[in-house]
């Protein structure tokens, strides 16, 4: 596995793009494996497979991330990506922190009477380095943001989007035919 776009110098690590054609290579239920990687490799913040190139874009909070340990941890848990080149991108939050906040907020909002019937999905978006929450109304956006603020989750770590009813939260969204 080789490394693209990274040297020992912090200046070589780029900021995470706000828009990207990249998609998450993971399926539901694999967040725990990412938490394990972050525990072994401090600063790890997730990864995505760039669909336009044979590259795994790895998010990191640290310019000094242990690349050998990172390669090993990915190879062990996600062998389908073992031989892919890696591009390292600097972000603000590691995956463990996002996951901790995600667990807190999802337990709250999915059981909140004020949001009954107003939630579409919750996800950790490794590409944007945020918790993404899909809701069906503007009032639900404000309610969710109130809950995140009560729990001390920074606004910059949460992205609440208005979702279309019946659509799956993929990029691009998958919606049933009319």
The pLDDT tens digits of the residues spanning 58-111 come to 999 988 899 899 999 999 999 999 889 889 999 999 999 999 999 999 999 999
Nearest Cα neighbor of 126 from 92, 164, 84, 161 is 92
Q: Judge whether 175 lies within some domain.
A: no
pLDDT > 60? residue 160 = yes
100 in the same domain as 82? no
pLDDT > 50? residue 11 = no
104 in the same domain as 73? no
Residues 119, 62 contacting (CB under 8 angstroms): no
CATH number at residue 112: 3.30.300.50
Q: Judge whether 141 lies within some domain.
A: yes
pLDDT > 80? residue 42 = yes
pLDDT > 90? residue 129 = yes
Distance CA 104, CA 108 (A): 7
151 in the same domain as 106? yes
As beta bridge partners, residue 90 has 15, 60
Which whole number is the average pLDDT over 108-132? 92
Distance CA 68, CA 114 (A): 47
56 in the same domain as 22? yes
Q: Judge whether 170 lies within some domain.
A: no
Backbone φ and ψ of 66, nearest 5°: -75, 100
48-69 residue pLDDT tens: 888 899 899 999 998 889 989 9
Q: Judge whether 178 lies within some domain.
A: no
Maximal C-alpha separation, the chain = 53
Backbone φ and ψ of 130, nearest 5°: -145, 165
Q: Which domain holds residue 157?
A: 95-162
Per-residue model confidence (pLDDT) at position 23? 37
H or E stretch at 70: helix 67-77
CB crowding 139-159: b at 16 or more within 10 Å, else e: ebbebbeebbeeeebeeebbe
Please tell me the pTM assigned to this model.
0.71
141 in the same domain as 104? yes
The number of domains in the chain is 2
120 in the same domain as 77? no
130 in the same domain as 65? no
- Looking at 90, 111, 141, the residue that finishes a domain is 90
């Amino acid at each position: 596995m080789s490394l693209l776009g990274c040297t020992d110098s912090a200046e070589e690590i780029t900021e995470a793009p706000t828009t990207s054609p990249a998609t998450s290579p993971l399926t539901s239920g694999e967040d725990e494996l990412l938490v394990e990687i972050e525990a072994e490799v401090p600063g790890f913040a997730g990864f995505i497979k760039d669909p336009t190139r044979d590259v795994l874009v790895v998010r990191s909070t640290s310019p000094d991330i242990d690349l050998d340990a990172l390669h090993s941890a990915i190879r062990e848990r996600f062998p389908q990506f073992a031989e892919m080149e890696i591009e390292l991108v600097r972000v603000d939050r590691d995956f463990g922190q996002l996951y901790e906040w995600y667990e807190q907020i999802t337990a709250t909002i999915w059981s909140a009477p004020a949001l009954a019937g107003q939630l579409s999905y919750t996800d950790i978006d490794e590409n944007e380095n945020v918790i993404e929450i899909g809701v069906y109304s503007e009032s639900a956006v404000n309610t969710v943001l109130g809950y995140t603020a009560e729990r001390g989750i920074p606004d910059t770590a949460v992205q609440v989007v208005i979702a279309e009813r019946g659509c799956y939260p993929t990029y691009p969204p998958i919606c049933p035919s009319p």
